Structure 1
Amino acid sequence: MDQLAAMRAFIRVVEAGTFSQAAESLRMPKPTVTKLIQSLETHVSTKLLNRTTRRVTVTPDGAAYYERVVRLLGELDELDGSMALSQAHAKGRLRVDVGTSLAVLVIIPALPDFYARYPEIQIDLGVTDRPVDLIGENVDCVIRGGNLSDQSLIARRIAEMTFVTCAAPSYLARHGEPRHPSELKSGHHIVNYFHPRSGRISPLDFAANGETFETTGPHLIAVNDSLAYVTAATAGLGIVQAPMFMLHKYIEAGKLVRILQEWSSEPANIYVVYPPNRHLSNKLRVFVDWIADLFARNELIQMRV
């Protein structure tokens, strides 16, 4: 038995909750993972997992073993990382997940610079606005804006987004320009954004002179993708409120017009997030540092209203 391979397989099964997901994330056949776990249980003379047709749960002995194995393998990875000559030798595969607009407008255009520094790192970039299960999907880190729903995760703040409210000239020609956010409740349409998992609609929020206002408003269309959200606005389907980095080029080109400029919207932080029990490997460390530097230097992200 390859004990290290069996330990890593055990950790993945515990974190993923099923042998199938663990096998997929490890890129191993499911029977191989099953055999590794069986060999490990024989080796330690203890039942580590309870198996059902739908789910795998951890026995009390398995839970104790898991905690110690996570620490042990983390120390082993740290030892291996300390032997690296420098960050320039960082290599391996990284699974990163990022929202659509940040990927298309900020990260992907800058990746040639990253690969010039770290040519031996392979990035599998999941581009989606949906929430991601970092543990179950074996994701090394995600880059997300807004409030963090899972406080157990480790988050590094890398930037702040400022929001603007806009509409297409064709929309304003038909409906007129609102002078107060309360006007959005009747006589206007909002392009609503609903969260991919919950379906909850994100409201537009406004503040000025101590007055606050929040609305989802009537809509012709609601979407769950950030690029679709902006496209609906430029097509004249309604009013949108989005980060400046997403809308700037459309405002500059005259495809969108800023409205309600005397009203501000609450800014939102952007974070790099990774699991607390995921060892910050050399490859992940250099990527996180690079992303933080990229966002600190990026003109679109740093643009203020």
Structure 2
Amino acid sequence: METLANLESFVRSAEQGGFSGAARRLGLTPAAISRNVAMLERNLGIRLFHRSTRKLTLTEDGERFLTAIRDNLEGLQAAIAEAGGERREPAGVLKVSLSPTFGTDHILPLLPDFLKSYPGIQIDWQFDNRQVDLVAEGFDAAIGGGFELSPGIVSRVLAPAHIIAVASPAYVAGRTLPLDPAGLGELDGIVMRSDRTGRIRQWMMRNAAGEEMAAAPKETIVVNDPAAMCRAALLGLGVTLIAVPDVLPHLESGALIRLVPKWYADAGPISVYYASRTLLPAKTRVFIDFVADHFKRQRLAERFAGSLG
């Protein structure tokens, strides 16, 4: 009887189009995946892949075998997990991608309690302002906003990513406060240049009545990082349009104040992203549930909602 490792190595190699992609998905080396597939071919007495230096393609026998076992493999994995789930503690390296500001402010502080609950899990987190390829780069999960969902990836919404206008009390002192987003154009702006497009980010703000209006402060200071935008605003250098989570502590302390409070821009949801497998590794499942439960208990979805004024 074939081992589950051999069968899964074959299925993931077919899905990824190579041993390297399957290795990243399964946390093994390409050499180990190749050995597992070769053993499967030897035991079955058929060739499953055409191999070349550039790519891996299924043979006719491989196509038929993949069709026959793919759905059954998922069911077998789920059955094994259910049978042993109560006895096994979540363990292993948890590789997660997070945006620097949001990850540092809102996810990193969860680590002490998380590791106390799951001491068998090791942390490998990367803080970067980019969308990662979860499968190709071997990530278990990613947390952020604006991800394009590639095939095989799903998301669980945590909170809204609403953009609001903020400035320091020192900056607005003695100035006439704007009544709507158009009025922001009279103020010094701390704006963000997109690393991807090279252009200054523009926002269309809306209010509860559904009205929309462009917000365009002067391009007085240009940076490429939300943390720098927040810091510049705290220094009294102008007004900035920024996501609520990035400035929430400063709003609550009074170090920053919100301008045109009835207006906000919607940048989409903040979500946790992960591979849409029938069987999630226990380490990934408990991490997702832990984060989602924290957001619920702390009412972060409500506190991040710029639509509430």
Do both share a fold (TM > 0.5)? Answer: yes
Gaps of 5+ in 2: none
Amino acid at match of 1:221: V
- Alpha-carbon distance in 2 for matches of 1:59, 1:173: 73
Q: Is the 8 A contact 1:140 1:284 kept in 2?
A: yes
Aligned counterpart, 1:4 = 4
How big is the shift at 1:293?
0.7
How big is the shift at 1:109?
0.9
For the pair 1:37 / 2:26, whether they are aligned, the reply is no
- Alpha-carbon distance in 2 for matches of 1:231, 1:57: 52
Of stretches 293-302 and 44-53 in structure 1, the one that deviates more from structure 2 is 44-53
Of stretches 274-283 and 127-136 in structure 1, the one that deviates more from structure 2 is 274-283
For the pair 1:221 / 2:222, whether they are aligned, the reply is yes
TM-score (norm 1): 0.77
For the pair 1:141 / 2:126, whether they are aligned, the reply is no
Aligned counterpart, 1:247 = 247
Amino acid at match of 1:242: I
- Alpha-carbon distance in 2 for matches of 1:175, 1:59: 73
Aligned length: 303
Aligned counterpart, 1:205 = 204
How big is the shift at 1:243?
3.0
- Alpha-carbon distance in 2 for matches of 1:65, 1:127: 41
Of stretches 176-185 and 114-123 in structure 1, the one that deviates more from structure 2 is 176-185
Q: Is the 8 A contact 1:191 1:238 kept in 2?
A: no
Q: Is the 8 A contact 2:2 2:40 kept in 1?
A: no
Amino acid at match of 1:166: V
Aligned pair in 2 of structure 1 residues 28, 147: CA closer, same or farther (>3 Å)? closer
Percentage of matched positions with identical amino acids = 30
TM-score (norm 2): 0.77
Q: Is the 8 A contact 2:160 2:301 kept in 1?
A: yes
The 5-angstrom pairing of residues 11-160 of structure 1 reads: 11-23=11-23, 26=26, 28-59=28-59, 61-66=61-66, 68-84=68-84, 86=86, 89-146=89-146, 149-150=149-150, 153-160=153-160
Gaps of 5+ in 1: none
- Alpha-carbon distance in 2 for matches of 1:217, 1:150: 35
- Alpha-carbon distance in 1 for matches of 2:176, 2:238: 12
- Alpha-carbon distance in 2 for matches of 1:232, 1:63: 58
Deviations 1:182-215 (A, max 9, x none): 3455764341252x55667643231234431235
Q: Is the 8 A contact 1:17 1:57 kept in 2?
A: yes
Cα RMSD over matched residues? 3.7
Aligned counterpart, 2:295 = 295
How big is the shift at 1:247?
0.5
- Alpha-carbon distance in 1 for matches of 2:80, 2:25: 22
Deviations 1:20-60 (A, max 9, x none): 45445655554443333333334344443344444444455
